[in-house]
Amino acid sequence: MPKFQAPKGMRDILPEDQVYWEKIKQVVKNLAKDYGFGFLETPILEEVDLFIKGTGQYTDIVEKEMYSLRTKGGDQLTLRPEFTPAVIRAYLENGLSRLPHPVKLFSLGPIFRYERKQKGRYRQSYQANFEVIGEKDPILDAQLIQLFFSISKDLGLKNLITQINSIGCSRCRPNYRRMLVSFYRSKKKHLCSDCQKRAQRNLLRLLDCKELKCIKIAENVPQIIDHLCDDCHSHFRSVLEYLDEMEIPYILNPHLVRGLDYYTKTVFEIWPDDEEGRQIALAGGGRYDGLIKLLGGKDMSGVGFAIGLDRMINLIQERSIKINTRTKPIIFLIQLGELGKKKSLKLFEELRRSGLGVASSFSRNTMQAQLKRADKMGARFALILGQKEALDETIIIRDMNSSSQETVPLSKVIAKIKKRLKK
Ligand code: AMP
C-alpha cells in the first residue's frame, strides 16, 4: 500500500484513458458550437449561499454533499456541487442579460459531492453542462435532449432512453403538494427515516426514494401530470410532440422529480436502456423558470441539463466501443550516432512546426529499436539521420510500407514528404 492515496471517491485519470476524455470533450465542444452555445468557465469555488439559495437548503446536495470551507479572510466557499446556480450567477454578474436572448451557455469541468461510494459515483466527477436562459418555448427542452442524443451518436453510444416528467409550476404544484400531504398522512411511519424528514421539507422527493418500502408506497401516489395547470399541461404535451417528431426514445416516469428546488415543468434524465445500467443516469436536467429571479435577475425562464462524463466513458468502455482519436504520426525521426543525435533535436522542431505530425524516441540508439517503434506507432515514413547523413547535410526517407529508401538533401526533406503525401 503506498503511503499516500487519492482522497476517497476521487481518482487519477491516467494517460491511457485520456483518449476517451479528449474525444468526449472534443465531441461536446463541436456540438455545443453547432447548437449555438458559448463556452463559459466559472471558478471551481463559489459562495456557499449561492447553492443554499439556488439548489435549495433541504436538497441532498446542500444538506449532505458539499465540500465547504472558510477562507483565511472569513469567506464561506464551497467546491461547486453542480453548475446551474454558478452559470446563472455568472450570467447576471457579467451583464450577459444584455445579449440577445436566449443566451446559451455551456461549461465543462469537475463537480464535487460528498456522496456514498458506489459504482459510477465519484466525489469528484466531470460534467458537460448546458443552459438556455430566457426562453420558455418547449422546443428548447426537446432540443436539449436532442443535443444529448447527437453527442451520444458521435461517441457511438446507442440504446439510451429518456425518462421524462413534468413537475408543474408555482401555480399547480401547491395543489399537488396538498394531495401528497394527505396521501402520505397515514403512511408516514412506514417510510424510511430520510423520507420521514423529507415529508416535512421536500415532499416531492418521496416519489423517487430508492428504498423498497418507499417505492411500494409511492406506487399508488396521485400522479402530478394528471394535476398540471393548463399552461404546464400544454407545455409538456408540446415537449413530447417534439420528441416524437425527432424520434427520440422516451418513457414517462411519473416518479422522476430530480430533487432540486429550482425545477419547474419539464424534468428529464437519460439512462442506458439495459438492465445493468439501472443505477446510472448519464445525464439529467430540466426547466427552472423561477431560478433567475431567485438569484436576483429578471423573472425569466431557463432550461438546462448536465451530462456525467465519467459515466459516459464508463459505458463506452463497458460496451467496448472503439474510440479513435490518437492520430498516427506521419513521420518517425530516427537518429544514429553522436552527430545524428545532436542534429535531430533541431530537425524534430522543424518537422513539428511543419504540421506533418512527428514522433521520435531519442533515448533509443539502435536502428532496429527505433524502426520497431516507428512501425508500432504506424508512421508513414521514417527519416533516418545517421553520422554520414549529418556530415553530408542529407537524410534518408524510408517508406514504412514498402521499405524503399531515398537519400535527399536535409533542406528539402519537408517539401519532399509533402509532395509524396499529395500523390
Ligand atoms: P444531476 O444533475 O445530479 O442528475 O447530475 C447530472 C449527471 O451528472 C448525472 O446524470 C450523472 O451522469 C452525473 N453525476 C452526478 N453526480 C455524479 C457523481 N457523484 N459521480 C459520477 N457522475 C455524477
**Residue 121 in contact with ligand 1 by CB distance below 6 A:** yes
**Residue 55 in contact with ligand 1 by CB distance below 6 A:** no
Whole-angstrom CA distances from 46 to 7, 87, 141 are 21, 11, 27
Determine the structural domain holding residue 166 and report its residue range.
15-172+228-318
**Residue 134 in contact with ligand 1 by CB distance below 6 A:** no
In tens digits, what is the pLDDT along the chain, a chain of 423 residues? Answer: 899 999 999 999 999 899 999 999 999 999 999 999 999 999 999 999 999 999 998 888 898 999 999 999 999 999 999 999 999 999 999 999 999 999 999 999 999 999 988 889 999 999 999 999 999 999 999 999 999 999 999 999 999 999 999 999 999 999 999 999 999 988 888 999 988 888 888 888 889 888 899 999 999 999 999 999 999 999 999 999 999 999 999 999 999 999 887 899 999 999 999 866 567 899 999 999 999 999 999 999 999 999 999 999 999 999 999 987 667 889 999 999 999 999 999 999 999 999 888 999 888 889 999 999 999 999 999 999 999 999 999 999 999 999 999 999 999 999 999 999 988
**Are residue 311 and residue 338 in the same domain, yes or no?**
no
**Are residue 106 and residue 162 in the same domain, yes or no?**
yes
Strand partners, 39: 106
**Are residue 294 and residue 253 in the same domain, yes or no?**
yes
Mutate to test the pocket of ligand 1, among 310, 312, 316 (most ligand atoms within 8 A of CB): 310
* φ/ψ of residue 21, rounded to 5: -65, -45
**Residue 80 in contact with ligand 1 by CB distance below 6 A:** no
Mutate to test the pocket of ligand 1, among 311, 314, 315 (most ligand atoms within 8 A of CB): 311
Q: For the packed helices 18-34 and 309-318, what is the interaxial angle rounded to 10 degrees?
A: 120
Query: The CATH number of the domain where 377 resides is what?
Result: 3.40.50.800
The domain total for the chain is 2
Distance between CA atoms of residues 103 and 132, nearest Å: 6
Distance between CA atoms of residues 309 and 282, nearest Å: 8
Please state whether the predicted TM-score (pTM) of the whole model is above 0.85: yes
**Are residue 49 and residue 164 in the same domain, yes or no?**
yes
Distance between CA atoms of residues 163 and 398, nearest Å: 56
The three-state secondary structure class of 135 is: coil
Distance between CA atoms of residues 157 and 145, nearest Å: 15
Among residues 289, 318, 347, the one where a domain terminates is 318
Is the peptide bond prior to 102 cis by the omega test (within 30 degrees of 0)?
yes
Among 109, 36, 121, 37, which residue's Cα sits nearest to residue 79? 109
Q: List the residue whose alpha carbon is closest to atom 8 of ligand 1.
A: 308
Distance between CA atoms of residues 53 and 261, nearest Å: 9
* φ/ψ of residue 183, rounded to 5: -65, -40
